[in-house]
Amino acid sequence: MVNSVYSLEFDDDSGAVGFAKSEDVRRFRHAFLGTDTVSSEFDDLELTCEHDRMPHNSSDFKDFFVGGLLVVEGGKKKLEGVLGGLGQWIPMRLGNESVFYFHPTKALDIVDKDNSDLLYYDGYLTGVNKFAFRELDDDLPLIFKMSGFENYGLVVSCEFKKYVEESALTGLSFKKL
């Protein structure tokens, strides 16, 4: 059976989470766009969300940064066993609540650039209309980034999708690529 891959979309109740301090944005983005392990300087980073929509009690996944997953403590407990070896967990704070950012450290070269609909300007990749993929097998990691396209977000396997759905984790939906 050939595996399918999915991008992630956050449900409305997952709420938009951001940085409490604007100076953390650039530093965080620079450190987490790739797949290198990140130092503990980001442990207990303070996050924030809109006060009139405090979503941190309504779903397991939070809409945060395209390069990883932000989850509440209960979500981490359900995921850490299946995501072991695929990335690192960074403890953070959202108000008075502990949340955890999963930073994937796996990247796979799965994009078929010749058959993808990629947008270029002056020789630089500026967008993607549609990805085409090389043949995928069932040995895909549950969660990873696409080599050369790390800033386009996470990709997950059908096994990850199935695990999240069976575990009744909330705040996340999947779009087949």
Q: What is the pLDDT of residues 70-82, one digit of tens each?
A: 999 999 999 999 9
CA dihedral (132, 133, 138, 142) in degrees, to 10, reads: -80
The pLDDT, as a whole number, for residue 160 is 94
Mean pLDDT in residue range 58-66:
87
Over residues 21-35, the pLDDT tens digits come to 988 988 888 888 778
The pLDDT, as a whole number, for residue 144 is 93
Show the tokens assigned to 108: 């796979």
The pLDDT, as a whole number, for residue 56 is 46
**SS3 of 142, please?**
coil
Judge whether 68 and 23 are in contact, CB under 8 Å.
no
Mean pLDDT in residue range 87-98:
93
pTM of the model as a whole: 0.87
pLDDT at 112 over 80: yes
d(C-alpha 111, C-alpha 131), whole Å = 7
Strands 5-10 and 172-176, by their bridges, are antiparallel
Average pLDDT for the chain: 87
- 62 Cβ partners below 8 Å, 6+ apart? 10, 14, 15, 17, 49, 55, 56, 70, 71, 72, 94, 99, 171
Judge whether 67 and 24 are in contact, CB under 8 Å.
no
Please provide the DSSP assignment of 16-72 as one string. BEEESSTHHHHHHHHHHSSSS---GGGTTEEEEE-GGG-GGGT-SEEB--TTSEEEE
**Count helices and strands in the chain by DSSP H and E runs:** 3, 13
